[in-house]
Amino acid sequence: MDGTILRETLQAILPSEKIHQAAKDIGVVQRARKLDLEKLVASLVLSAGSDDSGVLADAMRRYKGETGDDIVRGAFYGWLDDELAELMEWLLDSAISYAASLPVHLPGILGGVDDWVAFDSETVTLRPALADVFPASGTAAGVKVHKELSIGRGCMTACHFSPAREHDSPHLVIDERYRGKGLLADLGYVSIERLRRCDRNDTKYVVRLSEGWKPRIDRIFRGDVQGEFFPGADFDVLLADEVIALDGRCVDAEVVIGTGSHSVTCRLVMIPGPKEYLIYLTNLPRGTHGPKQIGDLYRVRWEIESDNKLDKSGAQLDQIRATTENSVRIQLYAKLLHSLLVDILVHRDNLERVEGNIARRAPLHRLVLAYAIRACHWHLLASHLDATTPDEQWERLARRISDDARDPNWRNRPSVLDRLLGLTAPRGRPRKKKMRDCRPSAAPYRRSGSGMEIHRVPN
């Protein structure tokens, strides 16, 4: 990540002129004597809060430090109204549009689609005072954030909120937006009708087999078949009768799920896992994706789980203690903007590694990058607000942030996505071996049983 990437990303997430124009269009009340709108928005986005101070208290402290105004708490909270919530929503939509415009990187088995999309939700517990607006089931109040994550860009490309009481499944709608894309979703979003919609909209998918489904086998392409069967035979019966032997080899079959006009035909893939076989359903062609590659693709879905962790640990999404709907919405938009800023920087750094043929450089770690940005937010904001900031200062900031945020364990534990993207490197020499290489003439030593004396081991 260089200074240009850092500067352009901040300008895309917090565009000064567009913020002021949108504020005029929306009707955000600006008190010229006090309110500096751009710094208010920046303090909300860059502030993460803590268990001790709280999110809004932290944002107010940063706003006062950035503007030098002695604003009282009541006046600050008075700015958190409907208009500001609408402005923050517009700002998040604008940032998502920018993220969706970035080029995708989908080499190897990730190709064949315009992009792979992972869909999931995360729940934020709220104060009981908001139970009427955001009712929940396990607690008095809560809100669900439904997210769509682009695997090719590593960024959120859509989101919306709902009361925590609502089920996840209805919030995933397969329509023309998904034409030519691929879908990765967990069992909470799997239904026969949704698979049929994927086929109608030319959407590829990789999902787990729901436990209550009864697939019927039409044909087996791979696997150890120990006997004959008629097309339409029950899959569970063939396994119980050991017609399909589970001897450690993969199974690839064509199956029908459902009945009549509500049925769907797809591939059923079985892969041996650590404890038992893993079963997936997909409509990817066999000529391009084998069973183990299907399993690797589904494991990429974990990227959205990592992004949810970034929201809650890096942006403190689960530390919202507001008691009004507007304050909750403002904080939700601000924290998702914080995470989106991190995701865009990580993706653009990965593109730089690929284009510059420096794939062996360690990637930026999402969570550590969020901490690094918070550590130097004063310098970032001052550089962003000053149009005359020299390129050398941006380069120093980018170098400082990227040096702190590189993943130290990347060589030893690359993610599945890193392997599929080809962004891996061989492991380095162990530290003990490096020390021995530095002292080739030194003889080994051993410690005595009491631990008080050290004896040289004879050659």
Q: How far apart are CA 423 and CA 238, in angstroms?
A: 41
% residues pLDDT > 70 (the chain): 87
Q: What does pLDDT average to over the chain?
A: 85
Name which of 184-193, 202-211, 438-447 the model is least confident about. Answer: 438-447
**CB distance 215 to 235 below 8 Å:** yes
**pLDDT at residue number 361:** 79
**CB distance 294 to 280 below 8 Å:** yes
E strands along 311-387, which residues? none
Non-local CB neighbours of 63 within 8 Å, separated by 6+ positions: 36, 39, 40, 43, 69, 71, 76
* pLDDT tens digits for range 161-177: 999 999 999 999 999 99
One DSSP character per residue, 174-235 reads: -SGGGTT-EEEE-GGG--HHHHHHHHHTT-EEEEEPPTT---EEEEEEESEE-S---TTEEH
Q: How far apart are CA 180 and CA 161, in angstroms?
A: 26
Determine what percent of the chain falls in helix, strand and coil, rounding each to the nearest 5: 45, 20, 35
Band of residue 33 on the pLDDT scale cut at 50, 70, 90: very low
Band of residue 322 on the pLDDT scale cut at 50, 70, 90: confident
One DSSP character per residue, 39-97 reads: HHHHHHHH----TTT-HHHHHHHHHHHHH-----HHHHHHT-SHHHHHHHHHHHHHHHH
Q: Is 297 helix (H, G, I), strand (E, B) or coil?
A: helix
Q: How far apart are CA 161 and CA 332, in angstroms?
A: 9
C-alpha to C-alpha distances, 252 to 71, 225, 277, 291, 295, nearest whole angstrom? 66, 11, 12, 7, 12
Read off the tokens for 409. Answer: 């364990």
Q: How many residues are given for the chain?
A: 459
**pLDDT at residue number 68:** 65
**pLDDT at residue number 289:** 93
Q: How far apart are CA 175 and CA 49, in angstroms?
A: 38
Closest CA to 361 of 421, 399, 407: 407
β-bridge partners, 217: 233, 255
**pLDDT at residue number 75:** 72
Read off the tokens for 193. Answer: 């009708």
**pLDDT at residue number 28:** 79
pLDDT at 71 over 80: no
Closest CA to 161 of 133, 200, 189, 198: 133
Name which of 129-138, 241-250, 417-426 the model is least confident about. Answer: 417-426
The DSSP call for residue 107 is -
* pLDDT tens digits for range 72-95: 777 777 777 888 889 999 999 999
More confident residue, 124 or 41: 124
pLDDT at 268 over 90: yes
Q: Which helix (H) or strand (E) holds 116?
A: strand 116-126
